[in-house]
A and B are shown apart, each in its own frame.
Chain A
């Protein structure tokens, strides 16, 4: 009995030691954008798995909020400086080439969509609102860009906040370049004059006050992915 117990304890101790070494090794290994590369690999593995299972048919609950309710504001990264909406232009790039410059009025000529969503924050809370604008897929059609690019990068005019999203998710029917929330023009803190609303991703991807949109086959930089968060962040 004593021998049995000793043997089991020794084996258990050894395995515990190995597990502890593995845990500490992961914690102390080189970081890939804010987290150990092993965990980054796990994020990317989960991302690839779920982008493979991704269906654009799936939509978040279409729950709105009463008109003119003030949508929740959770951060002002990249939109702190004042902006003159009249001189604002949307700049569109394919790779590094500027292909189009658009005023807000130009966008408003495109077919408009009005919908509502439950919207999920990476912090854990969710909120509901209605929003209106132009489907990103419509916008792509209007600027003559098809599905030849893998990624879309968006940036605020000051370049302080930037995200990138896979093209499939950008083509989702509820992904909008929005200029209204809860039936009111966007407030400054909600991203006037034009923002992205992509409810199939965490809120961190729904960039406010879009300055540039870039279509690319290399993944454009992503603010939060550089700070340890999952790049895919698909819901």
Chain B
């Protein structure tokens, strides 16, 4: 990949035959490892949520009340329409199989981010929260001036991309509390007991879905060059 990159630079600097049209200047944005972690996580998380719903169906107790209105997670018709009912055994089988890969991919990603030093571009730092607020105002068309983005990610991205890792950590921990509440009694007590762990596990899953929606909207808004960088690694400057 680097060879190609150098070749491209030579081309853009016009050191080849003058007849070839000038190529745009490109730069590496997402390294190969990050891209693999990202795209491996996507189907795994999707399948974890899918099998999680198959399990949750068997005892679907959570809801949001707003006055007289109750938003139930989920209405009976919703399961039957999507064919997600009466599949507890299948859901558990997939969930406890795939969790290995979901957790290993997540651990590998965090280890890579730490050892490569890429964490510096990701974690919030001084001024990140103010920057994030400016991003929100700008994206909601309440403020004209573009927010500052001195590095790879803006303030909002730093917060969310860090937060989502903590989601993963807590999904894993609360999941294991439910999986082995007796053997992992210390973890169970640390996280407030079995019922609390189950509550957190469910709402974290809802959190992923909300993150996904926001992420896809923002990626669509950012355009092809940005998306292509997550596929090929390179962006056009």
Interface residues of A (CB under 8 A from B): 1, 3-5, 7-9, 12, 15-16, 19, 23, 34-36, 38-40, 42-43, 46, 50, 53-55, 58-61, 118, 120-126, 199-200, 224, 227-230, 234-235
Contact = CB atoms under 8 A, between A and B. Distances in A.
Interface string B161-197: 0000000000000000010111101000000011100
Interface string B47-65: 1000000011011010000
Interface in B21-50: 23-24, 26, 35, 39, 43, 47
Contacts of B194: 118, 120, 126
Given A8-B232, A12-B231, A1 B26 contact: yes
B215 interface: no
Given A1-B8, A50-B183, A40 B23 contact: no
14 contacts: A1-B232, A5-B228, A7-B232, A8-B233, A42-B93, A43-B96, A54-B183, A55-B183, A120-B181, A120-B194, A122-B88, A125-B61, A199-B182, A234-B182
Contacts of B119: none
Contacts of A54: 183
Contacts of B232: 1, 4-5, 7-9
Contact of B180 (A5, A36, A235): A235
A167 B101 CA distance: 31
A43 B39 CA distance: 26
B4 interface: yes
B93 A124 contact: no
Interface of B: 1, 4, 8, 23-24, 26, 35, 39, 43, 47, 55-56, 58-59, 61, 88-90, 92-94, 96-97, 100, 178, 180-183, 185, 193-195, 198, 228, 231-234, 236
A4 B233 contact: yes
The residue in B39, B47, B97 that gathers the most chain A C-beta atoms within 10 A of its C-beta is B97
Given A118-B194, A124-B58, A35 B89 contact: yes
B83 to A, nearest CB: 13
A123 B90 contact: no
Contact of A229 (B23, B59, B92): B92
Given A36-B93, A60-B181, A122-B58, 19 more contacts: A4-B26, A12-B39, A19-B43, A35-B90, A42-B97, A55-B183, A58-B183, A59-B182, A61-B193, A122-B92, A123-B58, A124-B56, A125-B61, A126-B195, A224-B89, A229-B92, A234-B182, A234-B183, A235-B181
The residue in A16, A35, A54 that gathers the most chain B C-beta atoms within 10 A of its C-beta is A35
B6 to A, nearest CB: 13
Contacts of A60: 181-182, 185
A15 to B, nearest CB: 8
A124 B198 contact: yes
